[in-house]
Amino acid sequence: MKRFLLACAVLLCSSGQAQVQDASLEGRTLWRGHVSFGFETSEFRPCGSKERWWVVSSADLQKRYTQATARMYESAYVVLRGIPSARGTYGHLGSYARELRVRSVVTLRGVQKDDCKLKGS
């Protein structure tokens, strides 16, 4: 019984941790990339990465995305502040490498050819 309670305590303590295990992401809150939303889709693709992250969106992000795009699933370029989770399986069918909790949107607009090649980014 003691082992069971100890195991439960360890699981409870560790389940609340969403620390980023990738040192390149640690402390970083400003993100650039592309977002798209649709049925069972809430996706962020960071510039410089092939990963897809599940977006835990804000009302502001949803509103601005709807204004900037003509239809669901269309990509939009975004600069936002958010907190990424540890690597894992997130979103619909666990198809996403991380979860990104959006805190605020700096920029959101339609996609342009060189979005992720902007100087100073």
Give the domains, in start order, of the chain with CATH numbers: 19-109 (2.40.50.540)
Phi-psi region of 11 (alpha: psi -120 to 50; beta: other; left: phi over 0): alpha
Instruction: Please give the pLDDT value at position 80.
Output: 96
* Paired residues of 81 in beta bridges: 30, 104
Q: Residue 3 — pLDDT band, cuts 50, 70, 90? A: very low
Q: What is the pLDDT of residues 57-107, one digit of tens each?
A: 889 999 999 999 999 999 999 999 999 999 999 999 999 999 999 999 999
The span from the CA of 116 to the CA of 121, in Å, is 8
pLDDT above 50: residue 121: no
Instruction: Please give the pLDDT value at position 67.
Output: 94
The span from the CA of 102 to the CA of 16, in Å, is 18
The span from the CA of 94 to the CA of 99, in Å, is 10
pLDDT above 60: residue 19: no
Q: Residue 27 — pLDDT band, cuts 50, 70, 90? A: low
CA dihedral 59, 116, 74, 18 (to 10 degrees): -50
Instruction: Please give the pLDDT value at position 4.
Output: 38
Mean pLDDT rounded to a whole number for the chain? 82
